Amino acid sequence: MTERIREFLRKRREDGPCLVVDLDVVRDNYNAFAKALPDTRIFYAVKANPAPEVLSLLTRLGSCFDTASVPEIEMVLAAGATPDRISYGNTIKKERDIARAYALGVRLYAVDCKAEVDKIARAAPGSKVFCRILSDCVGAEWPLSRKFGCEPAMAVEVLEHALKSGLEPVGVSFHVGSQQRNQHAWDRALASAAAVFRDCSERGINLTMVNLGGGFPTRYVKNVPSVKSYGTAIFRALRKHFGNRIPETIIEPGRGMVGNAGVIEAEVVLVSKKSEEDDVRWVYLDIGKFGGLAETADEMIRYPIYTARDADEKAPCVIAGPTCDSVDILYEKQPYALPITLEIGDKVLIGGTGAYTATYASVAFNGFPPLKTYHI
């Protein structure tokens, strides 16, 4: 919560929840990544917050971009970045979208199987490809499961297939899971990456790049290690597994770049109980799972919530959104302590909401408009 955001909210007149992102914080985050990992190129994961103001700021700072769709590529180009600063990092792409990306100048693509290599060989001939390997995501609060990546042994086959198909196999990628609170999580993934490098080298394929993915956390309720400590742990792991032949590296921070730059202001719509004897209060806000807080699914991401009454005594509540869908509950299994004096009409501030909020908001579920956003 920065003074600039506080000032902006003091002056705001409109109704309804809104997200305010302080671009100075995004700039500080970018600089902290650049300093913590000085030999690594930064590919900002656009999906975390694709606001034009964020993209043009990062373009000016020298960032590259990890994109997952043609519209994301177009947004990055519109922000002024050249296509050589863009990777098409989604492993699941339609061939005609690959062709569009190629026509826009994109030459770096992610794959995790031979069928995807075939599409790229046809639609983006001669391009560079990296193969994503599976990661167990232990230690991540928002794990990414087995949806992306293949076993390291298969990655070798995929990369060899790429070479035979006229593409340029450049390396390996992985993602250790989002909101990864253990800075040593990269160690195991880098061991697998190094094994792929060795096996490829035996087949005459010289890989040069490791894409270290995202996963860098933002501070929610609990403290997280500093970016610097991630940089140190990653560098040590690179040394350990690659010796003095450390490859080119890139990172794809999303949450860690923008999460702490944003605050959502919301309003208490109702405070109620389910029976006279029940002492659990239900606090209904004007924002919920469909208004931008989708990452509260399974209560995985626990946002800090601030009120003007935080000095008062607190008691556990269930917190829910305003829509008529019963999944629109933010915290129930692990109730959330809010001031007992909290009243209908009070404003609440939800911290750490600069990433994965605004674009997750539904178009008009129950008639509620998408989240208003301001980037200042």
Ligand X SMILES: *Cc1c(COP(=O)(O)O)cnc(C)c1O
Q: How far is the CB of 304 from ligand X (least distance, A)?
A: 18
Tell me if 47 contacts ligand X by CB under 6 A: yes
Closer CB to ligand X, residue 41 or residue 47?
47
The answer to whether 326 and 21 have CB atoms below 8 angstroms apart is: no
Of the residues 18, 137, 150, 324, which is catalytic? 324
Tell me if 46 contacts ligand X by CB under 6 A: no
Using the Cα atoms of residue 120, residue 126, residue 128 and residue 131 in order, give the sign of their dihedral.
positive
Q: Site map for ligand X, 200-239, x if CB under 6 A?
A: -------------xxxx-----------------------
324 is catalytic: yes
Tell me if 45 contacts ligand X by CB under 6 A: yes
The answer to whether 36 and 228 have CB atoms below 8 angstroms apart is: yes
For residue 335, give both structure tokens: 């109730």
Tell me if residue 138 falls in helix, strand or coil: coil
- Positions 50 through 89 that interact with ligand X (CB under 6 A): 66, 89
Antiparallel, parallel or unpaired: β 168-173 and 128-132: parallel
Closer CB to ligand X, residue 173 or residue 307?
173
Q: How far is the CB of 360 from ligand X (least distance, A)?
A: 12
Give how many residues touch ligand X by CB under 6 A. Answer: 16
Q: How far is the CB of 114 from ligand X (least distance, A)?
A: 20
d(CA 329, CA 230): 33
Q: Which residue, among 302, 282, 296, has the nearest Cα to 330 in the 3D structure?
A: 296
The CA-atom distances, in angstroms, between 247 and each of 126, 250, 331, 374 are 22, 10, 43, 39
Q: How far is the CB of 224 from ligand X (least distance, A)?
A: 12
Residues that bind ligand X (CB under 6 A): 45, 47-48, 66, 89, 175, 178, 213-216, 252-256
For the annotated catalytic residues, the residue numbers are 324
